């Protein structure tokens, strides 16, 4: 994380340096410092830089997100810009047509914002609270599990499985999400469990 600070410092001094060199070349050395201080710093230097990874393909290009507001200080943070991480050994700052447009992914109009329920036979989603959604999910899952859990098979072997509810996991989530998901799914005895490895 220290590298972020040094990069920002570098940007600032680079901005001033370019201006100073050009003016110096024209023989205005004396006013160099005054002029440099009058030049507005790059807008991005006021942003919070955060190291991230492109969420698309498995090249896993390094990216740097720039946001207004600092999450680490408990502030709200709004994404302003995303660019390739020049220090990343794989992509060395480059991004493809997908990665270069990542800002529009994070800020897409079709990002979901609230839990929704579509009732049987309905033609629309209706907004609900998280508590309503999660209580309903737990109820549906528990009822299905209690009705269909198989403790022993026909040969009397303990099998402790639940196969009437399945779970598809996401391969763009983190390992940490994956392991918590694994714990919750397996502890319930679920076997119908898969991810995007095949598609």
Partner 1 sequence: MTNSWTDIQNTDLVVIMGGNAAEAHPCGFKWVTEAKANRGAKLIVVDPRFTRSASVADFYAPIRQGTDIAFLLGVIKYCIDNDKVQWDYVKAFTNASYLVKDGFSYSDGLFVGYDESKRDYNRSEWDYQIGPDGYALVDETLQNPRCVWNLLKQHVAQYTPEMVERICGTPKDKFLKVAQMISETSSPQKAMTSMYALGWTQHSKGSQNIRSMAMLQLILGNIGIRGGGMNALRGHSNIQGLTDVGLMSNLIPGYLTIPTEREVDFQTYMGSRGFKPLRPNQMSYWQNYGKFFVSFQKAMWGSAATKDNNWAFEYLPKLDVPAYDMLRAFELMHEGKMNGYVCQGFNPLQSMPNKAKLIRGLSKLKYLITMDPLETETSRFWEKHGEINDVDPKSIQTEVIQLPTTCFAEDEGALVNSGRWLQWHWPGATPPGEAKHDTWIMAQIHLRLKALYAKEGGAFPDPIANLHWPYKDQGEPHPVEIAKELNGYVLETVYDPADPTKVVLEKGKQVAGFGVLRDDGTTACGCWIYSGCYTEAGNMMARRDNTDRDNTGAHPNWAFSWPANRRILYNRASADLDGKAWDPSRKLIEWDGTRWSGYDVPDIAPTAKPREVGPFIMNPEGVSRLFTRGMMREGPFPVHYEPFEAPIANVIAPKIRGNPVARVFKNDMTQFGDATEFPYAATSYRLTEHFHFWTKHVWVNAVLQPEFFVEISEELAREKSIQPGGWVRVWSKRGSIKAKAVVTKRIRPLICDGKPVHVVGIPLHWGFTGAAKEGFGPNALTPFVGDANIETPEFKAFLVNIEPTTPPAVA
Quote the least distance from Cβ 33 to partner 1, whole Å. 34
166 binds partner 1 (CB under 8 A): yes
Quote the least distance from Cβ 96 to partner 1, whole Å. 4
> Could you give phi then psi for residue 12, rounded to 5 degrees?
-60, -50
96 binds partner 1 (CB under 8 A): yes
73 binds partner 1 (CB under 8 A): no
Quote the least distance from Cβ 46 to partner 1, whole Å. 14
Alpha-carbon gap, residue 63 to 98, rounded angstroms? 12
Quote the least distance from Cβ 49 to partner 1, whole Å. 8
74 binds partner 1 (CB under 8 A): no
Enumerate residues 10-39 that contact partner 1 by CB under 8 A. Answer: none
The two tokens of residue 144 are 């299905």
Using CB under 8 A, pick the residue from 8, 35, 44, 181 that binds partner 1.
181
Alpha-carbon gap, residue 167 to 189, rounded angstroms? 11
3-state secondary structure of 153: coil
Q: State the number of binding residues for partner 1 (CB under 8 A).
A: 124
Quote the least distance from Cβ 11 to partner 1, whole Å. 17
Alpha-carbon gap, residue 157 to 105, rounded angstroms? 49
Instruction: Please identify, among the stretches 13-21, 23-31, 32-40, 89-97, the one whose residues bind partner 1 according to the rule CB under 8 A.
Output: 89-97
Quote the least distance from Cβ 126 to partner 1, whole Å. 10
CA dihedral 196, 142, 148, 116 (to 10 degrees): -50
> Could you give phi then psi for residue 189, rounded to 5 degrees?
85, 15
5 binds partner 1 (CB under 8 A): no
48-53 and 62-68 strand pairing: antiparallel
Enumerate residues 47-66 that contact partner 1 by CB under 8 A. Answer: 48-62, 65-66
Taking alpha carbons only, the member of 7, 32, 5, 30 closest to residue 21 is 32
Enumerate residues 106-125 that contact partner 1 by CB under 8 A. Answer: 106, 108-123, 125
Alpha-carbon gap, residue 185 to 166, rounded angstroms? 9
């Amino acid at each position: 994380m220290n590298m972020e600070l040094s990069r920002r410092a570098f940007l600032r001094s680079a901005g001033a340096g370019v201006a100073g060199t050009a003016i110096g070349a024209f023989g205005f050395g004396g006013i160099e410092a005054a002029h440099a201080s009058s030049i507005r710093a790059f807008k991005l230097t006021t942003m919070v830089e955060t190291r991230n990874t492109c969420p698309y393909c498995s090249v896993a290009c390094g990216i740097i997100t720039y946001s207004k507001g600092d999450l680490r200080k408990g502030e709200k943070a709004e994404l302003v810009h995303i660019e390739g991480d020049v220090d990343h050994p794989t992509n060395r700052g480059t991004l493809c047509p997908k990665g270069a447009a990542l800002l529009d992914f994070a800020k897409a109009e079709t990002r979901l914002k609230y839990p929704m329920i579509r009732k049987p036979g309905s033609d629309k989603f209706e907004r609900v609270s998280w508590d309503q959604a999660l209580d309903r999910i737990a109820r549906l899952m528990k009822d299905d599990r209690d009705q269909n859990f198989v403790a022993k098979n026909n040969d009397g072997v303990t099998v402790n499985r639940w196969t009437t509810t399945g779970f598809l996991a996401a391969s763009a989530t983190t390992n940490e999400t994956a392991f918590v998901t694994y714990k919750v799914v397996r502890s319930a005895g679920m076997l119908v469990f898969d991810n995007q490895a095949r598609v």
